[in-house]
Structure 1
Amino acid sequence: MVLQGIQWSAISRGNDVLAEAGEENYGGAVIALAQKLLKKKPTAGWEYVKSKGLKGIKFHVFDNSSGNMIVWSFSAVAESSFDEDLVKSFLEKMVYITEPMRETEEWIYGDVLCAQASFAPILLQKMEQSVDRVAMVNQKINTTKEIMAENIDMALAREERLEDMQERSEELNAMAKQFKKRAKQVKRYKMIQNAKHGALIGGLVVTATAVVVVPPLVALL
């Protein structure tokens, strides 16, 4: 499998590499940069080297717990496009993972590559996981973007429905006002008609009553 991201990494005690893992996919450039990185003098901070398409980062741990000062080096060469913070995070994890091993006689006094058989597979696994983690983060970002896009579409659709409902409500209100106005007109018309009819009936009643109450003037004579 062709490595992506981190191309090479190593753990050293002083000038001796105890374990390393990696591949050369750049025509010797990875090896050359790794050698250059290992030769840099230890400091209290991060050390950097660069070449075309690649970058090297190294971190040192000064340890005096055994009575003698030991400088542990954690180095990595990665593609230039690979996030520098991820390379540093990888090296920092190696510091914590190897803490119990750095207390053993094998790591303190062993020869070059004394931990190759036991720890190189772990190095390679962690290098591959660093790339998988980036892919996972990118996948989460893409998934989040998709969810956001769906949320936006749903919000727009809801807004359109609300606008349609508002327009429909306005239409119904207008129809209700028109109906109410028409109802008033009909009611007014009926009242007028009833009033006219009442006046006519009243006149007839009055007339009828007049006929009834008017005493006979001729018949009794």
Structure 2
Amino acid sequence: MAVRVRDMMTTDVVCVQPGASMRTIALVLGRYAVSGVPVVDDAKHVLGVVSEGDLLHKLADGDGRSATADRAKRSAVTAQRLMTAPAVTVRARAEIAEAARLMQEHRVKRLPVVSDSGELEGIVSRGDVVKVYARPDSWVLNRVERLLMLDFELPHVRAEVRGGIVTLTGKVRFRSSAVAVRRAVGAIEGVLHVDDRIEFDADDLSPFALHTD
């Protein structure tokens, strides 16, 4: 079972409105020990994100060679002008791997979680994503066993988990079944590696395999 953003996100989100001053933003970041906050309107629609990095643009001394966007940051006095927009967001139903991809692609540390209409529902951070890979072995084993029994119906395939490494043993009829199991187990959050020792009776993936109607 894939871990979704809704399983890891924080729902008690600190945010500011577009008219918030720099002083207000700085106080909020310091008081709640966060490095960035969403900027929302009265209907809780996410307009952008303002971060410590955005504040640094304002505080930095210009040398006349900075980009237009940087100069705009330094002249900003409210969250609406200081924020990075549009915000990179994610849906609560998305898999946590999608959140990780977005963070890496856009080089951000947090993602506002929004509804289909753009309303703020929570926030997910890099720390939340990393927690997925610190799952206890017992948690991972439970997910693997459920996968084997419910999804593949393979009671003769057994799993052992140590340090996030899953060892699969047992026997199936076709090689394709073993390959499918290995891929599915490897996609479970918290699995660092799959040691596939599953045996099979027939190699149906071989180009020399015989197929009969």
On whether the aligned pair clears a TM of 0.5, the verdict is no
Q: Considering fraction of residues, name the structure with more helix.
A: 1
Max Rg structure = 1
Tell me the TM-score normalised to structure 1 length: 0.22
TM-score if structure 2 supplies the norm length?
A: 0.22
